Structure 1
Amino acid sequence: MQKTELSAFRAPLLHFLDDPGLDAAQPDSYVWYPDGLLLVADGRVQAIGPANELLPTLSADVPLEHWPDRLIVPGFIDAHVHLPQLGVIGSYGAQLLDWLETYTFPAERRFGDPDWAQTQAARFMDELLRHGTTSALVFCTAHPASVDALFQAAENTGMAITAGKVMMDRHAPADLCDEAEQSYRDSRRLIERWHGRGRLRYAVTPRFAPTSTPEQLTLAGRLMSEYPDVLMQTHWAENKAEIAWVRDLFPERHSYLDVYDHYGLLTERSVLAHGIHIDDTDRNRLAQTGARIAFCPTSNTFLGSGLFDLPAARASDVAVGLATDVGGGTSLSLLATMGEAYKVGQLNGRALSPFQAFYLATLGNARVLHQADETGNLEPGKQADFLVLDPAATPMLAHKQAPDASLSERLFDLMILGDDRCIQRSYVAGVCRYDRSPTTRALIA
């Protein structure tokens, strides 16, 4: 029998056991060890607890890294991001529908080249890890090769990635459109090839209602019924012009949400990006069906789409995740995204607490993506996806350091002033997949 290789990581340590609430954090919702120890073996968490309790249980040959001035948290999870859009991030001066025509479609066209898709998929995974993202729900392009490339790159790193081929058979450039029956067959082949292979899962991916014919939406719904454990991802109610367009295209449906509902695309495994311009009827239907919203604050403000009302969604028992939405979003960093979500909350009259922000980026997103049995926190038995954060990574963060700062204050500094520079290391299934500065070493005991 092969011997289990145990590794130990000592540092201040935080993870969540439940939703902390929007305001003052519920005391039983998180675990905070000012001096904690994380034990990892065979890619999974073996134990977590106070260092002074667990250290005496270790044999002398167990490798131990000590990060006394860092912070260990679970790996960040992105609830909505686009593989082909790294090259158009931060592009000037367009709202949603113009953005698609000017920037998105030209970028996606290049993924018809399998070699380009493979190169970009590897780069995309590297960038996720550099920004502290160890798991994500990803839009590929209409090209099946883009999905193959992404899943292969994810498999190479051991990351838990859910993704799908864009289904789009109208109102887009002809060379990016598929055909309804063909996209159904392509999606089926990709599901059979990749879904459930290791840590990979498939998401049925109609881009949004305007770019799919009723026939294609019907077939997307069929995929959901044929493969009940896949996810569904799409866009919804992001932009007022988009909503008016949907009203013209589907006059027989009483709302934008009803379009998805009618075609069998509104279930507890559905993740709808944005959901800005909605009402209580929409929220109640989301709660009834269990469908979730991916809140994308940086893209919503950058594209001028509007301000998502997180408290209203939560009051209606709608599950909400946090997402970067790159390239409409302006950073792959979930830390920066937390900061923008806080500003959206301020403009809506209710600020986002740092505990809620870190919960959303970890266990909250794991729950939204139906993977909380494997990721989202560091309970024993789960995949050892975690980060070593540097709370003094920049001069301004270092200036803010105070020995008597509360945990809330420390987290708030990270979410407002932090970005990818705060990611010291990213671990996937216990393996270090990104190290910001290899010359900076932990204290080895």
Structure 2
Amino acid sequence: MTRHLILGQTLAFAADPFSAPLEVAAQHHRRGAVLIDAGRIAAVGQADDLKAEFPDVATTDYGDGLISAGFVDAHMHYPQTAIIASWGKRLIDWLNLYTFPEEMRFADPAYATEIAGRCLDLNLAHGTTTVASYCTIHPGSVDAIFEAAAARDMRIVAGKTCMDRDTAPDRLRDTAQGAYDDSRALIERWHDKGRASYAITPRFSPTSTVAQLEALGALWAEHPSCLMQTHLSEQTDEIEWVRGLYPEARDYLDTYEAYGLLGERGVYGHAIHLEEREKARLSEVGAGLVHCPTSNTFIGSGLFDMAGLKGAGQRVGLATDTGGGSSFSMLRTMAAAYEVGQLHGTALHPAQLWWLATEGSAQVLHMQGRIGALRAGAEADLVILDLGSTPAIAQRAAQANDIWDAIFPTIMMGDDRAVQAVWLNGAPCQSAGSARIST
């Protein structure tokens, strides 16, 4: 693979803008450049400096386009792609009315393959270059998403969703031993192969028996380099459901902790209604929490306390939660996070929103410095954005006083029309739009 230089505005982070001053955390070059070499970022700097240092390198010029690390969606359900934006109901009803009937269709490998490809293409169209996805109980659904990602040279985290309790439909139940055996075989087939990582995936404690949680906890202990993803404290009625199923548990988190499913590489979706003991234990082990704002408002779950949790040092990422979430776009997800923050009494800065959608989610997935970062050594997964993609956005951005003033209208009103190009592993994967390519 040859070197390639791409030009435009660049936005990178040297620190977490929740804990460092903005002038320290963020790095913006009005006329910047990114040098790509063998699928990785070799250098980021001023365009004139890098052009002078590498005069004979093939160049793509995106003009005023904003070059950023590709977005990282830290929690989604690719099998729910076709039912996104289904009307009404809260979590348990939504699962029974829409999710479970759709997931039954994934017993058909051809259907799983169709939806896996559709889901990843929709994500790429919105500038998302890494997803962490739940699959269904069917091993073929896991193979389908990993194969689709490999075909696109896309980084992927995924795992077989495990459910053996009679709270799930008959056709979507496995067993404790079957979940262990299937997951172990899938780990051996996919984990750390190419750009794939495996996440051991109990859906949530209401759909797993104690025996299954114990089996998956044992599997995680045997394969500690895997992630473990599940749901935690999404809705108040869900928490009451958990209390009824696990009367001996101290709290919701304890239903995982008691069976070996609490750890640093654990990724816990939603985490809205946490008790103080839960917050303390999650912080103590360094686990990851994932904010899913469009989902939380769409099905009426509640308001995630971003300021409080980040202020307490929690590791937090951002996600669409497709299809409980109502958009594939991480721009729309950032906008919803801003709106939730406002309702919670804290206005998140554009830098904080952008960091959550890139570096923050990468940290939650234990891939910091590898994805979600515009810096030397990171994998060259990039999104290039037009900050004037619609007339409404353009007229507001034209009045911007700084880069954040220019970015914020795209966060609040942008969609896939803002995406000029996406690069995966150092190669363009869709039209370069208005870019000028020269050699």
TM-score of the aligned structures, taking structure 1 as reference length: 0.96
Q: Report the alpha carbon displacement of residue 294 of structure 1 after superposing the two structures with TM.
A: 0.5
Going from structure 1 to structure 2, the CA distance change for 1:443 and 1:212 (only over 3 Å counts) comes to same
Q: Is 1:370 matched up with 2:366?
A: yes
Q: Is 1:18 matched up with 2:12?
A: no
Q: Report the alpha carbon displacement of residue 316 of structure 1 after superposing the two structures with TM.
A: 2.2
Instruction: Choose the corresponding residue for 2:2, options 2, 5, 10.
Output: 5
Specify the alignment match of 2:354 in structure 1. 358
Q: Report the alpha carbon displacement of residue 404 of structure 1 after superposing the two structures with TM.
A: 5.0
Q: Report the alpha carbon displacement of residue 285 of structure 1 after superposing the two structures with TM.
A: 1.1
Deviations 1:267-286 (A, max 9, x none): 01001100111122211111
- Partner amino acid, structure 2, of 1:66: D
Q: Is 1:154 matched up with 2:149?
A: yes
User: Matches of 1:321 and 1:424 in 2, distance apart?
Assistant: 25
Q: Report the alpha carbon displacement of residue 290 of structure 1 after superposing the two structures with TM.
A: 1.2
Percent identity, aligned pairs only? 45
Deviations 1:361-387 (A, max 9, x none): 111111110011311212212210101
User: Matches of 1:389 and 1:119 in 2, distance apart?
Assistant: 28
Alpha-carbon contact 1:12-1:72 (below 8 Å) kept: yes
SS at match of 1:283: helix
Specify the alignment match of 1:127 in structure 2. 122
User: Matches of 1:59 and 1:414 in 2, distance apart?
Assistant: 33
Q: Is 1:315 matched up with 2:315?
A: no
- Partner amino acid, structure 1, of 2:173: C
Q: Is 1:88 matched up with 2:83?
A: yes
- Partner amino acid, structure 1, of 2:93: D
Specify the alignment match of 1:103 in structure 2. 98
Q: Is 1:185 matched up with 2:181?
A: yes
Going from structure 1 to structure 2, the CA distance change for 1:69 and 1:59 (only over 3 Å counts) comes to closer
Going from structure 1 to structure 2, the CA distance change for 1:414 and 1:439 (only over 3 Å counts) comes to closer
Deviations 1:51-76 (A, max 9, x none): 1211111233x221111221100000
Alpha-carbon contact 1:13-1:37 (below 8 Å) kept: yes
Instruction: Choose the corresponding residue for 2:434, options 420, 433, 440.
Output: 440
Specify the alignment match of 2:74 in structure 1. 79
Q: Report the alpha carbon displacement of residue 255 of structure 1 after superposing the two structures with TM.
A: 0.5
User: Matches of 2:153 and 2:401 in 1, distance apart?
Assistant: 36
- Partner amino acid, structure 2, of 1:105: F
- Partner amino acid, structure 2, of 1:70: G
Q: Report the alpha carbon displacement of residue 26 of structure 1 after superposing the two structures with TM.
A: 3.0
Q: Is 1:203 matched up with 2:224?
A: no
The count of residues paired between Structure 1 and Structure 2 equals: 438
Q: Report the alpha carbon displacement of residue 439 of structure 1 after superposing the two structures with TM.
A: 5.8
Instruction: Choose the corresponding residue for 1:294, options 283, 290, 294.
Output: 290
- Partner amino acid, structure 1, of 2:403: L
- Partner amino acid, structure 2, of 1:13: T
TM-score of the aligned structures, taking structure 2 as reference length: 0.97
User: Matches of 2:436 and 2:24 in 1, distance apart?
Assistant: 30
Instruction: Choose the corresponding residue for 2:163, options 160, 164, 168.
Output: 168
- Partner amino acid, structure 1, of 2:430: Y
Measured on the aligned residues, the alpha-carbon RMSD in Å equals 1.4
SS at match of 2:43: strand
Alpha-carbon contact 2:4-2:58 (below 8 Å) kept: yes
Moved over 4 A (4+): none
- Partner amino acid, structure 2, of 1:209: S
Q: Is 1:137 matched up with 2:132?
A: yes
Instruction: Choose the corresponding residue for 2:41, options 20, 23, 45.
Output: 45
Specify the alignment match of 2:223 in structure 1. 227
Q: Is 1:339 matched up with 2:335?
A: yes
Alignment of 1:410-421 (within 5 A): 410-421=406-417
Going from structure 1 to structure 2, the CA distance change for 1:439 and 1:368 (only over 3 Å counts) comes to closer
- Partner amino acid, structure 1, of 2:4: S
Specify the alignment match of 2:269 in structure 1. 273
Structure 2 unaligned segments of length 5 or more: list them.
none
- Partner amino acid, structure 2, of 1:345: G
Deviations 1:74-126 (A, max 9, x none): 00000100011111111111110000000000111111000111111111111
